[in-house]
Chains A and B, each alone.
Chain A
Amino acid sequence: MISGIPAVLVGAGLLLLFMLLGMPVFVAFMLVNLIAVFVLLGPPGFGMLASSFYETTTSGSLVTIPLFILMGEILFRSNAVDVLFRSMDELVGHIRGRQYVLSIALATIFSTLSGAAMGVAAMLGRSLLPGMIARGYDPKLSAGNILAGASLAPLVPPSVLVIIIGTLAGVSIAGLLVAGILPGLMFACLFLLYTFIRVRLNPKLAPESETTDREVTASDKVMAVVRMLPFSIVIISVMGFILMGIATPNEAGAMGVIGALIAAAIYRRLNYRMVIESVGSAAMISAMILIIMASSKLFSQLLAFTGGASALTEWVAAMEYAPWIMLIILMALPFVLCMFIDQIALMLIIIPIYKPIIEILGFDPLWFWLLFLVNITVGGMTPPFGYTLFALKSAWTEGSLMQVYGAAWPFVLLFLFGMVLLAIFPVLATYLPSLL
């Protein structure tokens, strides 16, 4: 019987092969599990396959996934996009490069509301980017800002990827959700700082003066804030209730859905058809994610059964490298793989392998898994295969893929710089969770 590290290599190798052949990710997991159970346990082991589906889809912590998705679906159908767009446009003052600020702010807010980097990149690529270029803004810097802002989606709560990591790694989901707030803001500030420095060094990157349709008065700015107030209902319903200890992440997810419905009612978009479409779409996306998770459950159990996970842990423990070298090694693998493989699929393969290793290394789990989350997020916008790049390219028809690649690289480096800051100052990730 194959066991130890070869078992891990064969299992992960088969999985990657099936995925690269274009099979649906959940089918790849099911096939590998079927083959592995047949080879290792024979037909008596098939009951484990059935049970793994049951255990995953009745897991209480995963209920948050459809609830967060539903919240985003309702908000996107409730005029939220138009309101945010108009309000932020009025709030950003007359500074040189104001549209860059607008693009980062909008991408960050939409990412917070939707949790989907690809969706935000595509939407802003279609709506904001052409206007920016027409007004004389640098196409690459504009596209880069949108890509980077959109890529904050998995980091800023509410985030579906956080729920998946928390569940698989056995880390507090509430803690991990809250841990993403400060790093998310830090990254947004880094992008703004970088953009301002670039504009300062090369003023041609932004037009000297922008003519707006009309002068924005102080009362316009107050109204812009008032218009955005309904979103605070959603934010309080989710993060407020978790931070105050009133609701679990699951219950906060349900409260967030109620908050989103109230926001839709305030914007006069609440109707039966909108609600049904939102729930239908959320059910489809949730089923897609959860069926992958259910199919992959047995994979991690088989890793343990073959002794692969423990052999790998012992091997890593015997390396005796300095912890920071181990951290770089552990981060390099998902960074590279995420350019080729779907983020969720990658997490399902890697987290069960990494979990015992980080225990041996003595890393703070919240800090490590947050770094891991940032890492796979960057993988999604790293050339040549990052998914978010293709989403932006498909929306930005005038731009070439090489332009998108060129736009992404500076921000990938900024993300890596931010990761170094997070690694050196773990308090950025652990301070807010320590208040819970």
Chain B
Amino acid sequence: MTIKQSLGLANVLRWHDLMSRTFYQLGIFALSSIVVIYSYEVISRYVFDSPTRWASDFVSFLLLITVFLVMPWLTRAGGHVAVTVLNDQLPERGRQVMLRGGYLVGAAACLCLGYIVFLETWRLYERGTGTLTTVSIPKWLLFALICYGLFNSGLYFLRLAAKCDVTESAEES
């Protein structure tokens, strides 16, 4: 790879990280919103005797938003739980091969499932399906976030497989 090509790739990776970090911060905001909404709900129910109709629906949407916006950043940090009983017994080289293989399989599974969710998202968009909640919103919006989480995690698994240094990436985050 030439210097120009590797600089170009580094730029792409930097933009990739920037985008993922921004979505991760939105995920943090979504989690904070859950606390605010539930606190508001308890106060409005017991202090003002006027419970909301929307709080539980919004909170369930926010849970999905939190999970799938944070998921790629979690993958980048190598934060997914795995059973390492066998890996720990292997010599360093064997351990790296197992890790790399696991990341590649993870990438394939996430990208494949991301594609399946994308097709479902498109179908929901074309049909104009809404959520079956008191406050209905277009369902494809939420499915699009699942799609983002899976696709982007797949990309980070590929990056981990190429670099294969979990601790370094975890420390960076």
Contacts and interface: CB of A to CB of B under 8 A. Distances in A.
Contacts of B123: 47
Contacts of A373: none
A280 B102 CA distance: 26
Given A50-B116, A63-B63, A292 B34 contact: no
Given A27-B109, A50-B120, A70-B31, A340 B85 contact: yes
Contact of B70 (A246, A287, A342): A287
B28 A276 contact: yes
Contact of B35 (A22, A257, A290): A257
A246 B64 contact: no
Q: Is the interface of A mostly helix, strand, loop or mixed?
A: helix
Nearest to A246: B46
Contacts of B38: 63, 67, 250-251, 253-255
B100 to A, nearest CB: 10
A30 interface: yes
B81 interface: yes
A54 interface: yes
A307 B146 CA distance: 30
B22 interface: no
Interface centre among B63, B87, B98, B149 (most CB of A within 10 A): B63
B19 interface: no
B5 interface: no
Contact of B146 (A30, A53, A385): A53
A258 B39 contact: yes
A79 interface: no
Interface residues of B, number: 58
Contacts of B63: 57-59, 62-63, 66, 290
Given A20-B86, A50-B143, A385-B85, A57 B80 contact: no
A283 B28 contact: yes
B50 interface: no
Contact of A63 (B59, B119, B131, B149): B59
B96 to A, nearest CB: 11
B127 to A, nearest CB: 12
Given A251-B41, A340-B83, A27 B106 contact: yes
Contacts of B74: 284, 287-288, 291
B60 A288 contact: no
Interface centre among A22, A34, A282, A294 (most CB of B within 10 A): A22
B162 interface: no
B154 to A, nearest CB: 10
B67 A290 contact: yes
B117 A50 contact: yes
A280 B70 CA distance: 9
Contacts of A59: 60, 63
Interface string B81-107: 111111100000000001101100110
13 contacts: A20-B83, A50-B146, A54-B139, A60-B59, A60-B60, A63-B59, A67-B34, A254-B35, A258-B39, A287-B66, A287-B71, A342-B83, A345-B81
Given A27-B102, A50-B117, A63-B60, 16 more contacts: A20-B85, A22-B99, A22-B102, A23-B106, A25-B81, A26-B80, A30-B110, A50-B120, A51-B120, A54-B139, A54-B143, A57-B68, A253-B38, A290-B63, A340-B83, A342-B81
